[in-house]
Amino acid sequence: MKSIEKYNQKLFVSLGSELDCERYSQLSTNEKLEELLKPNEFVYFKVNNFKEACDLCQNFINHFNLGGSNWIGGRIINESNNFIARISYNGRIWDNEDYEVAKEIIL
């Protein structure tokens, strides 16, 4: 577990989703329309800490009814665009973008 005091700096978290191409052809017409209305880009928001970033990500996922295959956000960066952490679909926070070596950051 890394100390979060190290990250006492300006933080930004990405919010974003993408079309679930594999599932799209199996959807009903209404579900296809709903899928197409979901945001299809990244937006970065300034946050004060990891908890705020995690809450913002979970609210975004819930608001747009995203699945794990839609969610592409959660990257936390500093003002120099350096990677700090990643928030996964389930709200867990990781210290590395490579999930094979990442360690969870516990708040």
pLDDT tens column, 48-63: 999 999 999 999 999 9
> Which tokens belong to 33?
């329309």
Q: Is residue 88 part of a domain?
A: yes
Q: What is the pLDDT at residue 92?
A: 95
Number of domains comprising the chain: 1
**Maximum alpha-carbon separation in the chain:** 48
Residue at 82 is within a domain: yes
Q: Are 93 and 4 in contact (CB under 8 A)?
A: no
pLDDT at 7 over 90: no
DSSP structure class, residue 52: H
Does 34 have pLDDT greater than 80? yes
Instruction: Evaluate whether residue 77 is within a structural domain.
Output: yes
pLDDT at 8 over 80: no
Residue 102 inside a domain? The answer is: no
In a domain, 35, yes or no: yes
Which residue would you say has higher pLDDT here, 99 or 84?
Answer: 84
Task: Answer yes or no: is 28 within a domain.
Answer: yes
Distances (CA, A) of 84 to 18, 66, 71, 104: 23, 24, 19, 12
**Residue 105 domain-assigned?**
no
Residue given tokens 């609210």 in the structure block = 59
Tell whether 64 is covered by a domain.
yes
Residues 6+ apart with CB under 8 A from 45: 12, 13, 15, 56
Expressed as residue numbers, the domain containing 44 is: 4-94
- Cut 0.75: pTM above it: yes
On the question of pLDDT at 41 being above 50, the answer is: yes
Q: What's residue 67's pLDDT?
A: 87
